[in-house]
Amino acid sequence: MNLQGKEIVLGVTGSIAAYKAVELLRELVKAGASVKVVMTESARRFVAPLTFATLSRQEVMTDLFTLDYDAKIRHIAATEGADLLLVAPATANVIGRFARGLADDLLTNLFLASTRPVLLAPAMDADMYRHPAVQENLERLRTWGVRIVGPAEGELASGMWGPGRLAEIQEILKAVTEILQPTNDLAGEVVIVTAGPTHEPIDPVRYLTNRSSGKMGYAIAQVAADRGAQTILVSGPTALTAPRGVEVIQVETALEMRAAMLDHLPKATVVIKAAAVSDYRLSRPSTSKVKKSEKPQTLQLVPNPDILKEIGAQKGARIVVGFAAETGDLLRQAGRKLKEKNLDLIVVNDIGAEGAGFSHDTNVVSILDLDGGVEQLPLLPKRQVARRILDRVVRLRQERGSGG
């Protein structure tokens, strides 16, 4: 990692994880970045400013009401030449104040006054993190283009287990590098990603679906776009925010997903099918609400088309990546799907594993290729899984040459 010549403003807020910001600062400085640290008042109760000042070799900024030597107002001046405002750890409180535009100390003023990219690494107790207030604030910040890294799941300072730990330092550094040194190794590719479940209507109010949250597919779309691909995300119903720089096509049913895919397929050079498509739909969904007085029903199902198989059959020079959610004999089942659907790679999700599968922010997968290779990845945040999948796509492209 080379951050030579980069200027980062590191905001440290009052979380028990503030001590980890010391290590983060050391790594950033080691990578060549010039780092100005801004501490909130409560952060100073956890770690002394002197620690940050010594390691950053710069004065630590804490006070809003001080003029710089050239009489510039601090909250305007501090991020002027900066490449990034990084807040780690970011408490529920500072996230809330950012999201509501409140500015009552130096850091919150910096956030409002800055036009630079912002990266937040939240850290708090699991119940706080899950609170709708915090979730809503994070969503709001995301829609403004603020990037969020973590939090990780694990043991928390309270003794609880859950999401809320500050993301690993290496994970934060990766997110920093992604912003400051975007890799463009997918430039020229047109990537179609599918994500989420499908809804197969029973009547106007009910439907068949599955537990897919869409997080894996959204992470892939975000990373693909960040790495320079023209990215189209065909998404089933999810509660997620559209990734930055991605064209999102919302669909509901498997048939709608198929139509959207086939529509965009001619221009695609890469197809990644992370959606959990319903294998069946009702043969005749009711157009009016089914009443309970209509006595117990038997639902007549018909198979949905296997979209991935259809795409595999006409893939040409495209790179096609499928997913397989399995519980039993994972690798054998996935190997079979890889060949049957004429794919280049298949990503196997062990949905039985701890921290893997639906609605988690982490996943445990293996990537199978046509040469019989099996790359087993450890438990990783979905964003990192996305990176590893796209690394394989880039490698395949390099081996094969242009996708046209």
Q: What are the residues binding ligand CTP (CB under 6 A)?
A: 254, 273, 275, 277, 279, 304, 306-308, 322-325, 337
Is the preceding peptide bond at 89 cis, omega within 30 degrees of 0?
yes
Rounded distance, CA 41 to CA 106, Å? 10
The CA-atom distances, in angstroms, between 69 and each of 61, 73, 77, 246 are: 13, 10, 11, 43
The yes-or-no answer on residue 210 being catalytic is yes
Q: Tell me whether residue 88 or residue 254 sits nearer to ligand CTP (CB atom).
A: 254
Ramachandran sector of residue 342 (left: φ over 0; alpha: ψ -120 to 50; beta: rest)? left
Among 137, 210, 342, 363, the one annotated catalytic: 210
8 Å CB contact between 384 and 378: no
Least Å from the CB of residue 75 to ligand CTP: 48
Closest approach, Cβ 204 to ligand CTP, in A, equals 23
Residue 84 or 390: which CB sits closer to ligand CTP? 390
When the beta carbons of 136 and 340 are compared against ligand CTP, the nearer one is 340
**34 DSSP β-pair partners:** 7
- CA dihedral (351, 353, 355, 356) in degrees, to 10, reads -30
Nearer to ligand CTP, 5 or 305 (CB): 305
Long-range contacts of the stretch 56-64 (C-beta < 8 A, 24+): 56/10, 56/25, 56/29, 57/29, 58/34, 61/36, 61/37, 61/106, 62/38, 62/106, 63/106, 64/105, 64/106, 64/109
Q: Identify which of residues 223 and 254 has a Cβ nearer to ligand CTP in the complex.
A: 254
CB of 125 to ligand CTP, least distance (A): 36
Closest to ligand CTP by CB, 148 vs 254, is: 254
**Residue (220 or 308) nearer to ligand CTP, CB:** 308
- The residue among 154, 216, 224, 195 whose CA lies nearest residue 357 is 216
Residue found under tokens 């800055």: 114
Give 146 or 345: the residue with its C-beta nearer to ligand CTP: 345
CA 112 to mean position of chain CA atoms: 24
Catalytic (active-site) positions: 210
